A and B are shown apart, each in its own frame.
Chain A
Amino acid sequence: MRYTSQRVAYPYFVVALLLFGLQVAFGLLAAAKYLGPDPLLEVLPFDVVKVIHTNLLLVWVLTGFMGAAYYVVPEESRVELYSPRLAYVQLGLWTAMGVTAVVGYVFRWTAGNKLLEQPFPLKIVIVLVMLLFLYNLGMTIRAGGRLTTTEGVLVAGLATTALLYLPALFEWDNYTLSIFYRWWTVHLWVEGVWEMIQGALLAYLLIRLSGVDREVLEKWLYVIVGLTFISGILGTAHHYYWIGVPRYWLPVGGFFSALEPLSFLAMAMYAYYAMRRSGLAHPNRMAMHWTIGSAIFSALGAGILGLAHTWPAVNKWTHGTMITAMHGHMAFFGAYVMIVLGMITYALPGLTGRSEDSRETACGFWAFWLQVAGMFGMTMAFATAGITQTYLERILGIGYLETQLKLQVHILMLVATAALFIVGVALYLWDFFFLAGRPVAALPGERLAAARPTA
């Protein structure tokens, strides 16, 4: 950490991690409901638990991105943040929005549009927060007069994230049109501009952790982001196949979705290359774990497991089964959870004024490996459930309810591995809140000559 104002990242990380903890708790509850009977049927039914689980994911990952951006941008532009006060106001508004949304869902206040369930007033708050955020970043970069490729990609990813939220503000009488434009937000976020953010954070972390030449890494960052958009924009088509659109979306979706793994594979190769060049010498080995983990898990979860069901002839049978959940869980974990946890782990020693190797705790290692093992097991459980469901329900034509009863053994495995995962998350939170120390106190404007062994 080189600039005092980078410390605004810390409260963002606090909020992100608390919401992460809440998200996985609701996830476990949702999984348990598959085992039935459900004692909470009329109090907290599945739909409420599920909407909270997915919305918390979006909110906390975005909180993590914001914190990460506030950490990265001053350092890259070599200037203090334009307004830390504005950043705190933004966090307050954002957190209030998130908490209101969750409480609202419990009391059935919802817009009911998948993943964009936020009621309209809250959507306006989201837009406002994004504008505050981009203004603060923009003014910082302007003051610094320096825009690196890495931060350029990061900020462009965040700005387009805000832009692509705008279609969510419109309502359509035709349900097909409302699905059509919903994917402009949801798909183009997670398989488009969020990958830009992931790529930029990955580049930043690899530059810092491996010490490989920035010019080389930033050149490949362009290639990765280029591959992401070439495949991802037209890859939106794989959400369009069966919703009432012209037939040409099927070949378009099949072809471009098949290219989507390329950008993730490129990221994995990128990380491998950087690590080979540097020999894994950086003392913050936990940050290294999460960074490499993100590159590998996103290649598996988003790349390979996505490809497993986007080909139209396959998707015709698997569409709307647990196969989608298989892909979704590992993809989000690999691409976005791990990169945010990587950024937090990397930033912590600087934020708390401790040595770079201070994150190498037993707790930290267990947190990593239990999450990795738990998520791998969950993905396998979703996959076996999804394959069985596709075969029984879609191919043999057995009823939905009878099929669900036959999936119980896979759901048991899901609950068991989810429990492992949650222990991993709990350990990460424990490490962050109780072992990592508190942010260093410093007067506003004071430059921190950090007590760090490496620059």
Chain B
Amino acid sequence: MSKRAARAFFVVGTALSTLIFLVLTVDSHRKIPALTNAAAIDATVIEGKDVWHRNNCINCHTLLGEGAYYAPDLTQITAQRGAGYLREFLKDPSRFYSEERDGRLMPTLNLSDQDITAVIAFLGWVSKIDTQGWPPRPILVKGSAIPGALVGAPAPTAASNDPIELGRTTFNATPPGCFACHSISPNVNVVGPSLAGIGATAATRIRSSDYHGRAKDPAGYIRESILDPNAYVLAGPTFSAGGHSLMPGDYAQSLKPEQVDQIVAYLLTLK
């Protein structure tokens, strides 16, 4: 090959690659708004993005798998934790995690309520971006290294029409992401309380004097807890704040009635 030919290889190769890259870029630029649900980017989401940038979040966390590797990925965090929980967490992370126990702790950022609302809205918008199926399995902040927590199970799909099986599937799917906070092993409280033996616990609880809800049986109690987490509030640093449950309060809207029935049926089987 002569030097001339080598130069032609360089010039033509580079020009062609650049051209293809630019064509794909123009096409992507037109399609990204639909793929990212850009219509939902309102002033709060933009403000939340600024909060995200201003606080240098990307240099510990990853978002869409990009960033630093010192703290968990937050792409799906709003699907795994309710806004109430995230608000309390951002006010004081040390209430939920400790360096001694977990090896890592987020510094307290002293964010204003408005900042917190905005950054949660931003993360909520991110969680709905079409990521071509990434992550293939949920990336959890904590938990699941627990016997019986379906470690290593494939992405949940129901194996039969058995309501219990369907309930188990929904419990382990994101959304609603029940499994991300609730362990089904005894005494393991990831964020919310363990649901092992919840049927027996519920039976005792509805008979106790401090229960003022409307449930008459364990199934009713579990259903009530899902649809109205504030009906009976359990005390605990990661369970509730100011007498309000930190569990998401919108399952009455986001879950179909039969899905709730199935989850209840499944949870009643946990011993």
Which residue numbers of A lie inside 8 Å of B, CB to CB?
30, 33-34, 36-38, 41-42, 45-48, 50-51, 108, 110-114, 117, 149, 173-177, 179-180, 215, 218-220, 222-223, 225-227, 229-230, 233-234, 236, 239-250, 252, 316-317, 319-322, 324-325, 393-402, 404-405
Contact = CB atoms under 8 A, between A and B. Distances in A.
A248 B24 contact: yes
B147 interface: no
A400 to B, nearest CB: 4
B66 A179 contact: yes
B28 A245 contact: yes
A401 B131 contact: no
Contacts of B145: 398-399, 402
B94 to A, nearest CB: 10
Nearest to A216: B3
Given A112-B54, A177-B29, A223 B141 contact: no
Interface stretch (B132-140, B203-211, B235-243): B132-140
B139 A176 contact: no
A320 B64 CA distance: 8
Given A114-B58, A399-B143, A401-B141, A246 B13 contact: no
A324 B73 CA distance: 14
Nearest to A392: B145
A174 B128 CA distance: 13
Interface in B42-77: 46, 49, 52-60, 62-73
Given A173-B41, A222-B6, A243 B66 contact: yes
Contact of B70 (A46, A245, A250, A324): A46
B103 to A, nearest CB: 5
B56 A117 contact: yes
Contacts of A177: 29, 32
B68 A46 contact: yes
Given A113-B53, A245-B32, A234 B58 contact: no
Given A113-B53, A320-B62, A393-B139, A219 B144 contact: no
A38 B137 CA distance: 30
B1 to A, nearest CB: 7
Interface string B64-92: 11111111110000000000000000000
A132 to B, nearest CB: 27
B102 interface: yes
Contacts of A322: 69
Interface residues of B, number: 81
Interface stretch (B14-22, B160-168, B221-229, B263-271): B14-22
A54 to B, nearest CB: 8
Interface stretch (B104-112, B212-220, B244-252): B104-112
B10 A225 contact: yes
B10 A223 contact: yes
A167 B24 CA distance: 17
Contacts of B1: 219, 223
Contacts of B67: 114, 320
Contact of A244 (B18, B130, B143): B130
A348 B99 CA distance: 48
A41 B54 contact: no
A41 B24 contact: no
B21 A50 contact: no
A108 B57 CA distance: 11
A223 B64 contact: no
Contacts, number: 232
Contacts of B54: 110, 112
A400 B129 contact: no
B141 to A, nearest CB: 5
Contacts of B33: 174
A113 B10 CA distance: 33
Contacts of A51: 56, 59
Contacts of B65: 242, 319-320
17 contacts: A33-B70, A41-B105, A45-B107, A176-B64, A176-B129, A180-B32, A219-B3, A222-B7, A226-B10, A242-B132, A245-B35, A246-B27, A324-B69, A401-B102, A402-B142, A404-B104, A405-B102
Nearest to B122: A175
A252 B3 CA distance: 30
B69 A320 contact: yes
Contacts of A239: 66
B168 to A, nearest CB: 15
Nearest to A153: B10
A395 B152 contact: yes
Contacts of A230: 13-14, 16-17
A175 B55 contact: no
B159 interface: no
Top 5 A-B residue pairs of the complex, sorted by shortest distance between their CB atoms: A112-B53, A320-B65, A47-B59, A242-B134, A226-B10
Nearest to A221: B6
A394 B136 CA distance: 8
B9 A397 contact: no
A114 B152 contact: no
Nearest to A35: B103
A390 to B, nearest CB: 11
B98 to A, nearest CB: 9
B38 interface: yes
Contact of B132 (A46, A241, A404): A241
Contacts of A227: 13
Nearest to B38: A174
Given A34-B70, A179-B66, A244-B129, A47 B56 contact: yes
B70 A395 contact: no
A14 to B, nearest CB: 28
A400 B142 contact: yes
Given A320-B73, A396-B151, A36 B56 contact: no
A249 B24 contact: yes
Given A399-B143, A404-B104, A249 B28 contact: yes
B36 interface: yes
Given A252-B24, A396-B152, A114 B59 contact: yes
Contacts of A236: 21
Contact of A50 (B46, B59, B73): B59
B36 A174 contact: yes
A229 B22 CA distance: 14
A179 B49 CA distance: 12
